[in-house]
Structure 1
Amino acid sequence: MNDATPAPEPKVGFNDLLRFLLEIFAIVTLGIFGFTEFELPWPGILLGIGLPALAILLWGLFRSPKAVFHVDTFAKALVEIAVFSAAAIAWWLMGQPVIAVVFAVVAAVSGIINGRRELGA
């Protein structure tokens, strides 16, 4: 008989799923912004690929659950605010203020909920 107890599975809640979708939306937004708002082929291609790559790099280094650099909650929040604000500003500059405001509000509320959970842990 095997007496080893299985490791507890991580609980993924609604806010976790929402945050993942917000991350994907922000990355796609930055790509759309780079390709549509700047002259092609240069700097449009550079920014269309570079802006999402920079957001992914920042997120992977500082904000993801398996981040390379372990920083405090406030530094994580700054990275999150930078990426999500860039996406909201991009929508605003593309002439879509409703999308910009809705995204910013949803991201802010989700970030506050997550921040309270991280600080409480």
Structure 2
Amino acid sequence: MRTTPGSPDQGAPGHVLDERSWYAANDVLAFLLELAALACLGWWGAAVGDVTALRLLLGAGTPLVALVLWSLFAAPRARLRPRLPLVLAVKALVLGGGAAALYGVGHPVAAVVMAVAVVANTAVAEVFRRRPTASPTG
């Protein structure tokens, strides 16, 4: 396919816009996965145990602990700025815990789908993070 002088190609600003769109879409997916992990952790906590008080405690406490860990170490505006390995460990604990919780409530296929989505999303985010930003001149 031939390109005309005004058509976007690999070096044109239109390509950068497309890349930013993918980056934004990946960020939205990351946020949705975070919310899903918290919901799954709460679901698991509410389903565990025979005592109602324990179910309430785990149903509210498990996602609350995950939320505190996330906000301290893994959120974009985290209070603490640890090195990347610790950030990834917290993400693995919270997001992986969400997938494990989904498995724990009896949905193994959904748990695998969530785990694959988490790994793919995190890998894409790391690729975007490591890429040098494109200059507006190409």
* TM-score, normalised via structure 1 length: 0.85
Q: Distance in 2 between matches of 1:118 and 1:68?
A: 20
Q: Distance in 2 between matches of 1:56 and 1:120?
A: 29
Q: Is the 8 A contact 1:73 1:119 kept in 2?
A: no
Q: Which residue does the alignment assign to 2:59?
A: 48
Q: 1:102 aligns with which of 109, 113, 132?
A: 113
Q: Which residue does the alignment assign to 2:71?
A: 60
Larger Rg: 2
Q: 1:25 aligns with which of 36, 51, 55?
A: 36
Q: What stretches of structure 2 of length at least 5 have no aligned partner?
A: 1-19, 133-138
Indicate how the Cα distance of structure 1 residues 73 and 117 shifts in structure 2: closer, same or farther if over 3 A, else same.
Answer: farther
Number of positions where the alignment pairs a residue of Structure 1 with one of Structure 2: 111
| Residue 100 of structure 1: how far off its partner (Å) | 0.3
Q: Distance in 2 between matches of 1:15 and 1:40?
A: 40
* TM-score, normalised via structure 2 length: 0.75
1:45-99: per-residue Cα shift (whole Å, max 9, x none)? 1100110001100110001111010012221111000011111111112111011
Q: Which residue does the alignment assign to 2:17?
A: none
Q: Which has the higher contact order (CA 8 A, sep 6+)?
A: 2
Identity of aligned residues (%): 32
Verify: 1:90 aligned to 2:101, yes or no: yes
Q: Which residue does the alignment assign to 1:4?
A: none
Moved more, 30-39 or 111-120: 111-120
Indicate how the Cα distance of structure 1 residues 116 and 73 shifts in structure 2: closer, same or farther if over 3 A, else same.
Answer: farther
